Amino acid sequence: MKETIDSLSKKGKMIFFAGATEKQIHEFELMHDIVLPSQYREWLKFSDGGDLFLPAGVQLYGVAHKPLINVMDGEGDIVGCIVIGALTTGDPIVCESNDETISIYNQEAERIENDEQFANFLDFLNNLSGIVGEGD
């Protein structure tokens, strides 16, 4: 994780919030009856939300700092997903409980595109500069 964070920090302006505690993460999961992806949990301990690749980038949500992770259990196109962030286009970054896959939900097409699914949170972070058009 540290290598990925160091690499990201060299590619653009980032704002990392203070990390959440294991207790805060666990209580959030219990309150919402979810299990966050393991690598995202590790990220939250480093940065409980934040803004990456400013101004064109990504906002990640946290469990203690606002905006908070949004569990879509009511109405909407992405019911059952956990919204852990958003691109500046407004497209949400989502996962499902007990699943390591991170995806970008294309609001215009109302679906997740195959090329916008990532095996895990580190894979997502490692592809982030390309997603936001910042190059390598």
Separation of alpha carbons 5 and 81, rounded Å: 25
Give the residues of the chain that fall short of pLDDT 50.
none
CA 123 to chain centre: 11
pTM of the predicted protein model? 0.89
Separation of alpha carbons 14 and 52, rounded Å: 4
Q: What percent of the chain has pLDDT over 90?
A: 59
Separation of alpha carbons 131 and 101, rounded Å: 16
- The four Cα atoms 45, 32, 78, 63 give a dihedral, to 10 degrees, of -30
What integer pLDDT is reported at residue 36 of this predicted model?
96
What integer pLDDT is reported at residue 62 of this predicted model?
96
Q: Which two tokens stand for residue 123?
A: 């894979």
Helix (H, G, I), strand (E, B) or coil at 66: coil
Separation of alpha carbons 100 and 38, rounded Å: 7
Domains of the chain: 2-129 (3.40.1580.10)
What integer pLDDT is reported at residue 75 of this predicted model?
52
What integer pLDDT is reported at residue 90 of this predicted model?
92
What integer pLDDT is reported at residue 76 of this predicted model?
53
